[in-house]
Structure 1
């Protein structure tokens, strides 16, 4: 079984068709971040009553001409990203060895879960309407109802915080440039890609830190209503001094992250 998956991984590495499917996924991922940036920016300017969440952004897609078709294309792209990361988790990262490779494979598993989450969201909104909610509160409530539920929610919040810290670190150190081809890193646009990626990774990391804070607060109080989703996290920031400016900065960061996804799709390096 393992050998067959590795063979599949090698074939996928050399598949131009699979490359294009991954590109569709990266463009879809970037589009969602641009929509999130627009929703959060509108919230900062007092012009939004919508949801600054994943499903809120996808609901905006559905409202456009050919919106349902676009959602199905996005779902397909997210599935391709999921498959890509699952293959990498089993047979990828062959340039690394030992613990370093094991860590990268574990990271691929986490990424596969994230992309699968977006694939499900795109399918749900496209097929059923989605309702514009991200489902965070009911999910946290279910986890808190389990034995050791508080611990599980706390671990989830810590995992998101670690992910956020990793994004911020990648933005500061420019580690994200490894996701672009060598040609892109030597091109005339390389400095632009670095600037966009730096702002994007740091901005997304800050947004996720706010989200993880709500999850950890829910774990501490055993109250799922304390969790909320990304939308609630952004509204909490808005309530702080200079909150609107902070939200605008996060919106710019998420927009830059979305643009970097486009650059990554153009200069794909798997």
Structure 2
């Protein structure tokens, strides 16, 4: 009986984790759409997680959807935390990645909870947190280290997309066009997200070099910075479409991901 109960409990948590990947897909698609709007000249929305949650909150069933997001992200974060602590994922590096993912998904759950309860998340929070960090002993080194870390994560995403290592996270994909579409969504999505994270990492490094917290402006600020580069709107549009592709890949992972 205990074996049956354990299997049932695992099934519930696995379903929650898959729901988390699906909600992450919705979130990335919304961020991509906001980034497309930014690329074509409409900068009224914040092209980051807060902007996406705000979009959801404005819909008729937004409150319900946000509570679903809270539960799904919390379940996915707990699943990753359990994997990191139990050693299910094997090597130390894999356990560290699982721990990092747990922090990200639990933070998303908290952000979704804020919006579900009628609050919001201001776009200046990243700058405020950076300002606090800069005031700490060796603060500039700490901010610079954060920037280098984000750059490394961005490079990892690009590498994972180009080499198609993300396929290791999936079970056998369908044959034919659906399978090819799933693979391309992963390639394009991982590379685009890596580029966005790379720009974000550069902004943190610049904030450390110049001791100016206003330069660390989060994902929305990174995308706006990309828009100001030569051929920026075109580059931003490519990244935006890539973020939408990453969202579509997240749906694939929700269905075919190894857990």
TM-score, structure 1 as length reference: 0.90
Q: Which residue of 2 aligns with 1:49?
A: 44
2:79 to 65, 84, 93: 84
- What's the CA shift string for 1:215-247, capped at 9, x where partnerless? 111111111111111111111111122111001
User: Does residue 123 of structure 2 align to residue 128 of structure 1?
Assistant: no
Q: Which residue of 1 aligns with 2:32?
A: 37
User: Does residue 12 of structure 2 align to residue 22 of structure 1?
Assistant: no
Q: Which residue of 2 aligns with 1:104?
A: 94
Q: Within 5 A, what are the aligned runs for 1:113-192?
A: 113-133=103-123, 135-182=125-172, 184=173, 187-188=175-176, 189-192=178-181
Shift of 1:128: 3.4
* Higher mean displacement: 110-119 or 128-137: 128-137
Alignment check: 8 A CA contact 1:12 1:18 kept: no
Query: May I ask how many residue pairs the two structures share in their alignment?
Result: 255
Find the residue that maps to 2:117 and give its secondary structure. Answer: helix
Alignment check: 8 A CA contact 2:84 2:95 kept: yes
Give the gaps of 5 or more residues in structure 1: 1-10
Shift of 1:134: 6.2
User: Does residue 55 of structure 2 align to residue 60 of structure 1?
Assistant: yes
Find the residue that maps to 1:251 and give its secondary structure. Answer: helix
Q: Which residue of 2 aligns with 1:8?
A: none
CA 134–102 in structure 1, closer or farther in 2 if over 3 Å, else same: farther
- Distance in 1 (CA, whole Å) between partners of 2:22 and 2:225 is 30
Alignment check: 8 A CA contact 1:44 1:238 kept: yes
Find the residue that maps to 2:38 and give its secondary structure. Answer: helix
Alignment check: 8 A CA contact 2:123 2:217 kept: no
Q: Which residue of 1 aligns with 2:189?
A: 200
What is the CA RMSD across the aligned residues, in angstroms?
Answer: 1.9
1:233 to 222, 227, 244: 222
